[in-house]
Structure 1
Amino acid sequence: MSFDFDSLKHMRPEDMIVRLEAMKAQAEQQLAAFEAMKEQITAITVTRTDAEGMVTLTVGSDGYITDLVIDPAVHGQQYRRLGSVIVATLAEARAELQQKLNEAAPRRG
Structure 2
Amino acid sequence: MGEILRADLEALRVMAAGVRGEAGTISGIDPVDLVASVGRAMPNSAIGSAAVGVGEPLLSALHGMAERLRGMAEAAENGATTYENADRVFAEQLERYLHGPL
Higher-helix-fraction structure = 2
Could you tell me the TM-score, scaled by structure 1's length?
A: 0.36
Could you tell me the TM-score, scaled by structure 2's length?
A: 0.38
More contact order relative to length (CA 8 Å, sep ≥ 6): 2
Higher-strand-fraction structure = 1
